Structure 1
Amino acid sequence: MDILTVTVLTHAVIYTGKEKIDEGYIRFDDKILAVGPMADYRPQPGEQIKNLRGLLVIPGFIDVHAHGGYGFDAMDGDADQIDQMATAMMEHEGVTTLFATTMTQSVANIDQAMRGVAAAADRNPIIKGVHLEGPFIAQDFKGAQPEQYIHVPDANLVKQWNELSGGRVKLITYAPEKPGAREFEDALIEMGITPSAGHSNATRADMLESKATHVTHLYNAQREFKHREPGVTGHAMLEPQIYAELIADGFHIVPDMLKLAFRVKGAKRIDLVTDSMRSKGMPEGESELGGQKVYVKDKQARLADGTLAGSVLMYKDAFKNAVNFMGASVADAVQMSAVNQSEEFNLASKGTLEVGKDADINIMDQELDLQATYSYGAFHATKD
């Protein structure tokens, strides 16, 4: 990486992920060099100073569940396109760390995706992992995943895909009620991969036997939360150690149910995700997901039968919606958009604005509209 001029952002309201500094400064090149109150700031020769009075500074966003956007999809397996996709997510949305996400498809297609992600990640450091969503899921809750490619849990396939990805598989969505799931979970944990219950018909009893520590898109594509059977959703609500993803677009989950999840789980166990597909950032109309036609209208992506097919949600809007829909504070939203993900997936250089961490920084105005992003200290004005 090129040597960067040292930048100092001054007079900002800074949410470090650990504390709020009402009038603070942050000094960085590609790494954070200092952060603190303005009373402690001492100018240094050669540094570039930007006065951000009236603006907020927060950590860059970490999206652990995004399939695509801007006309591209991880399943295409094209390294150039996956590279462009990750960069677009950073420039338009403030995503500075991405888990490229696959879906239920043929083994050969997932092989190709893993090779493409590995090559893209070698050139684009924003791509820090892979989320395998399927193919080890339940037919009853397949959502927009093509049924013909659903597979029984197979640790050997996971090992194959992890090797093809360069050891980047961090998260797997699977159905914990499927035969062999306990042994499958043991194999995942041994490989350092987080097991996530999703696209699942599991009961509360199934989940109590499971080693899943994460739930994929809470409420969506899983056994419903009912008064006689808590299912996957109820289990995630009841078990304080489980991390739960939320697609905070107001369509996948209505605002009241987002608020309920936030009140029950609390900020420290929710991961905001987009679950976005290739139509994000593109004009509305016909698109594609896993070989299936998708129709995008009114900020919703659906199959012909009306099934939601991922989202076109931008992460910057998920952050804002967490405050407006869920009643979260800005500090809570920072927790759910960066801190939790860094802790859950051992992303040691990410997630908070502390000395020695990567200079992944978002700048927002008082209305929580994204203004600019620094990725590894390089400035990017937010693109519309």
Structure 2
Amino acid sequence: MSEEWIIKNVRIVNPEEDLEQAFIHIQQDKISKAASMEEWEVYKNEITIEDRAILDFSEEENVFLVPGFDIHIHGANGSDVMDGTRAALKTMASFLPGEGTTSFLATTMTQHPDKIRQALEQVGSCQTEERAEAECLGAHVEGPFFTKEKAGAQPGEYLRQADTALFKEWQQAASGKVKIVSLAPEQDPEFLLTSYLKETGVVASAAHSNAKAGLVRSAQKHGISHATHLYNGMSGLHHREPGLAAEALLNPDITIEMIVDGVHIDPDMVKLAYRLKGAASTLLITDSLRAKGLPDGKYDLGGQQVTVKGNKPYLDDGTIAGSVLPMNEALKNMMSFSGCSLQEAVRMASWNPAKLAGVLDRKGSIEAGKDADFVLMNREGEVLKTWCRGHQAYQKGE
């Protein structure tokens, strides 16, 4: 495809608008126009475009375009962010368009500080060499500022209290690309790191925490604005002692993210969260491991052995350890579990994550001025084609 091309007669599903018959004009890696086909007859006379540079989907039924994103992913196709190599990030970037992810935040996990620094250095220096792959936009630091009681698959020997000086070192190593830090409020008792994150424009997210609701409310006033993988790795919904999950659901100033794979959260609890928070405050993530895209078997996660059977990864003691969830399946499951619309699911999968990561000016929706990132899907939830910054990055069957 040339540097300038057109897609027409296709449905575009955005968080704010669903255009049943539309066209997109792409110039290099940007969208210059996205509008209803009603405008096409006039618009086509304003541009010069060759027939071979037009993709016409008028003969395709039940397909639509959506934007793509993932703010919480550890690995895929045999690679993990904590490998601390450019090759690992490259493998992920090449693989992810196949599930409809066009950009992502590389997510670290609890490890020795030097290992985290090494991983963040790679993220900081990562320059996407090819536009035909998902773009690594920065890092999500998950741990090690967690509490032992809710550590889950985070290695306990590296857990520690929040350390602002250490985070500053990591942020420098990442060339300022850390966008989100997940931490337990009780591990930041004076809210020093939480406050610093807010001051510097980094999202502070509550996670792997045994905090009671009152402490979470206090942490929110100091900067906590998000809750990492709701329900998992946190104090819950006990009727006499509401915890982090309860406060995240009730507090209008806290957004939530969920792993909607049918393993991490019962479908009814997904529906409960959706009804309380709505599409505007909910994000879909995968939290996937290096095992995603590979056969059942045993894999490494931060020096721990993870066994994958079907769609469930777990440690030797039975603890669920991340997921193998593809993002297109998350979208499909969210609609099935909650009854939400496709538009709402797109908001949760793309718009809200782009907003949280601070890149809504160029990601999260299909509209003029934004990167030419979009995914062609069918009603069965299959990814047919994916374009990243104007270049085809995936086609089913190839």
TM more than 0.5:
yes
1:9-20 alignment to 2 at 5 Å?
Answer: 9-20=7-18
Match for residue 102 of structure 1?
108
Aligned match of 1:238 in 250, 274, 280?
A: 250
CA distance in 2, matches of 1:13, 1:220: 36
C-alpha spacing 1:55/1:357, structure 2 compared with 1 (3 Å):
farther
Match for residue 34 of structure 1?
33
Query: Residue 220 of structure 1: SS of its match in structure 2?
Result: coil
CA distance in 1, matches of 2:233, 2:127: 29
Q: Which 5+ residue runs of structure 1 have no aligned equivalent?
A: none
Query: Residue 276 of structure 1: SS of its match in structure 2?
Result: coil
CA distance in 2, matches of 1:251, 1:304: 17
Match for residue 4 of structure 2?
6
Q: CA deviation at 1:212?
A: 0.8
1:126-205 alignment to 2 at 5 Å?
Answer: 126-205=135-214
CA-to-partner distance for each residue in 1:166-187, whole Å, 9 max, x for gaps? Answer: 1110001100022435111111
Q: Which amino acid aligns with 2:235?
A: R
Is the contact between residue 141 and residue 221 of structure 1 (CA under 8 Å) also seen in structure 2? yes
CA distance in 1, matches of 2:257, 2:324: 16
Q: CA deviation at 1:123?
A: 3.8
Q: CA deviation at 1:55?
A: 4.2
Does 261-270 or 78-87 show the bigger shift?
A: 78-87
1:220-369 alignment to 2 at 5 Å?
Answer: 220-347=232-359, 348-369=361-382
C-alpha spacing 1:179/1:338, structure 2 compared with 1 (3 Å):
closer
Does 363-372 or 175-184 show the bigger shift?
A: 175-184
Q: CA deviation at 1:116?
A: 1.9
Aligned match of 1:68 in 49, 68, 75?
A: 75
1:45 and 2:57 are equivalent in the alignment: no
Is the contact between residue 153 and residue 181 of structure 1 (CA under 8 Å) also seen in structure 2? no
CA distance in 2, matches of 1:179, 1:16: 38
Q: CA deviation at 1:112?
A: 1.0
| 4+ aligned runs moved over 6 Å, structure 1 | none
CA-to-partner distance for each residue in 1:19-53, whole Å, 9 max, x for gaps? Answer: 11111111113111111111111434226221223
C-alpha spacing 1:121/1:144, structure 2 compared with 1 (3 Å):
farther
CA distance in 2, matches of 1:181, 1:64: 27
CA distance in 1, matches of 2:158, 2:101: 30
CA distance in 2, matches of 1:86, 1:122: 8
Does 362-371 or 41-50 show the bigger shift?
A: 41-50
Q: Matched residues, percent identical?
A: 37
Is the contact between residue 6 and residue 46 of structure 1 (CA under 8 Å) also seen in structure 2? no
C-alpha spacing 1:184/1:320, structure 2 compared with 1 (3 Å):
same
1:118 and 2:124 are equivalent in the alignment: yes
Q: Which amino acid aligns with 2:50?
A: G
Does 116-125 or 298-307 show the bigger shift?
A: 116-125
Number of equivalenced pairs? 381
CA distance in 2, matches of 1:256, 1:155: 38
Q: CA deviation at 1:10?
A: 1.4
CA distance in 2, matches of 1:19, 1:383: 27
Does 214-223 or 236-245 show the bigger shift?
A: 236-245
Q: Which amino acid aligns with 1:274?
A: T
Is the contact between residue 5 and residue 49 of structure 2 (CA under 8 Å) also seen in structure 1? no
CA-to-partner distance for each residue in 1:337-361, whole Å, 9 max, x for gaps? Answer: 1111222222010011111100001
Q: CA deviation at 1:247?
A: 0.2
CA distance in 2, matches of 1:322, 1:373: 21
CA-to-partner distance for each residue in 1:193-212, whole Å, 9 max, x for gaps? Answer: 10000000111000110031
Q: CA deviation at 1:263?
A: 1.0
CA distance in 2, matches of 1:182, 1:323: 37
Query: Residue 287 of structure 2: SS of its match in structure 1?
Result: coil
CA distance in 2, matches of 1:127, 1:190: 24
Aligned match of 1:81 in 88, 100, 103?
A: 88
CA distance in 2, matches of 1:383, 1:367: 14
Query: Residue 191 of structure 2: SS of its match in structure 1?
Result: helix
Does 179-188 or 370-379 show the bigger shift?
A: 179-188
CA distance in 2, matches of 1:137, 1:117: 22
Query: Residue 12 of structure 1: SS of its match in structure 2?
Result: strand
C-alpha spacing 1:202/1:45, structure 2 compared with 1 (3 Å):
same
Q: Which amino acid aligns with 1:353?
A: I
Does 40-49 or 29-38 show the bigger shift?
A: 40-49
CA distance in 1, matches of 2:66, 2:165: 37
C-alpha spacing 1:179/1:65, structure 2 compared with 1 (3 Å):
closer
Does 65-74 or 319-328 show the bigger shift?
A: 319-328
Is the contact between residue 14 and residue 56 of structure 1 (CA under 8 Å) also seen in structure 2? no
Match for residue 24 of structure 1?
22
Q: Which amino acid aligns with 2:290?
A: R
C-alpha spacing 1:133/1:11, structure 2 compared with 1 (3 Å):
same
Q: CA deviation at 1:380?
A: 2.8
Q: CA deviation at 1:331?
A: 0.1
